[in-house]
Structure 1
């Protein structure tokens, strides 16, 4: 896989699909402890007719690098990759922490984002009591147990156990320093008061059963956007893998709609 060397990290990425497509490229950004393969279903669909770019964020998946203190640091990595690939404008899709990164890019570089999609994401971190207690206990329990508890509750009830276990194993491979440093970065993330500045067409897709970042937090963000469409699906926090076809369909309808 190709890599981009930047600020002590090597970012692994995929760049697929036709370069001469009329539509701008779609750029997918994954969330905390995940990797670019969260977007396998969406990448297979869109790369048949337009350019698709996805990456492993620093310290995740096949990318190297230490944790960074702010979401803005991760946003700069993504922008650097776009510069490296010669992408001036794109449709930007972010899941969870990836949605935080996407909003940060849209605020810092509005001319580079044609459309924005936020999947299970919010504008200001606000933990439920249960999530807060889990994070507070993070230094008192074994790291793998901490990761397992977080990933387990990310899926809606009834999701196949073997698939949950596979995601737990993949997340636990993310270095502890990266996981905990980026937890701090997410905790400090707050663009809610600036959300009205993001004027591009925006789709917010959320899982009804998301207990990590509850629907009400997303709706609070949606009210602040001047041009946002909301879709609620019957799933938890991991929409790209829980409901891949439904999410892909929602993205397709939104990204191909005429302005």
Structure 2
């Protein structure tokens, strides 16, 4: 699996991107988190990574767990966006002793894509070779704030390079996914960041997530969409940093108490 390792001096942050993205998805956020060691994989079938053990969220989690093990990482904080947040939940459930905390950006328990929705129809109509200039990508990456084209155009090109079978395969796996039980088993500190104008995972998704994770901290970014880490990476980083400092202080206090 292809990945970036910043080699930063601080605790490990494992950054997991969303459906059709790559490690590039976090490139605007990374400078604001430079105090940490950032490990940012291209998930299987995305970016420079070949397809792994399968296209289900659990398959992605298994592949990420193998990567983390190969890197010798025994403790990390997971930051996941959208599908990456679902993978983060699964990884936390799979390896609770390794994941110290979980940050979910635009997360959900059930990634439902209605059959008559324009996004769903757009995905199902994709055929190889996919044209990165297809109007579908304007819809797919749409949000209330304009995104710099020097960032977004390469994101669209990488998404278009993903075979249509992978796009449709992941969509099919999403239709069968319900993470309610997984969420109920998570005991580590959790931060949920969401945009109030998220067109993919709206208020209903946010409320279900909050109900399943009653102890989680939640931040609603007013006026932002599904990709707040693209729209205002500095503000997202501030929320993440504030949460992480609380987690790290609590861990240090617990360690001293044990001594």
Q: Verify same fold: TM over 0.5.
A: yes
1:211 partnered with 2:196: no
Alignment of 1:152-191 (within 5 A): 152-160=139-147, 162=149, 164-191=152-179
Unaligned 5+ segments in structure 1 are 1-10
- Which residue pairs with 1:16 in the alignment? 6
What SS is found at the alignment partner of 1:111?
Answer: coil
Structure 1 equivalent of residue 235 of structure 2: 246
Task: Say if 1:36 and 1:56, in contact at 8 Å, map to a contact too.
Answer: yes
Give the distance between the partners of 1:158 and 1:125, measured in 2 at CA: 23
Q: Partners of 2:152 and 2:170 in 1: how far apart?
A: 22
TM-score, normalization by structure 1: 0.84
**Contact 1:30–1:97 (Cα < 8 Å) also in 2:** yes
Check conservation: 1:127, 1:213, Cα contact below 8 A.
no
Contact 1:67/1:179, CA 8 A, preserved across alignment: no
| 1:222 paired to 2:222 | no
Residues 222 and 83 (structure 1 numbering): CA distance in 2 closer, same or farther, change over 3 Å? same
Q: Distance in 1 between matches of 2:227 and 2:31?
A: 18
Distance 1:74 1:105 in 2: 9
* Contact 2:191–2:216 under 8 Å retained in 1: yes
Q: CA deviation at 1:127?
A: 3.1
Q: Distance in 2 between matches of 1:37 and 1:73?
A: 21
Distance 1:145 1:215 in 2: 32
Q: Please, what is the CA RMSD of the aligned residues?
A: 2.5
Secondary structure of 2:73's aligned partner: coil
State the alpha-carbon separation in 2 of the partners of residues 12 and 33 from structure 1: 15
Are residues 221 and 227 of structure 1, via their aligned partners in 2, closer, same or farther at CA, if it must alter by over 3 Å?
same
Offset of residue 69 of structure 1:
3.7
Aligned partners of 1:97 and 1:186 also within 8 Å? no
Q: Contact 1:71–1:100 (CA<8 Å) still a contact in 2?
A: yes
Say if 2:145 and 2:224, in contact at 8 Å, map to a contact too.
Answer: no
* Distance in 2, Cα, partners of 1:247 & 1:102: 18
Aligned mate of 1:35, from 7, 19, 22: 22
- Give yes or no for the alignment of 1:95 onto 2:85: no
- 1:153-201 superposed Cα distances (whole Å, 9 cap, x missing partner): 4432341484655533331121222211111222222111342211111
Q: Distance in 2 between matches of 1:14 and 1:34?
A: 14
Query: How far 1:81 moved relative to its partner?
Result: 0.8
Taking structure 1 as reference, are residues 189 and 92 closer, same or farther at Cα in structure 2, changes over 3 Å only? Answer: same
1:135 maps to which residue?
Answer: 120
> Structure 2: which 5+ residue stretches go unaligned?
251-259
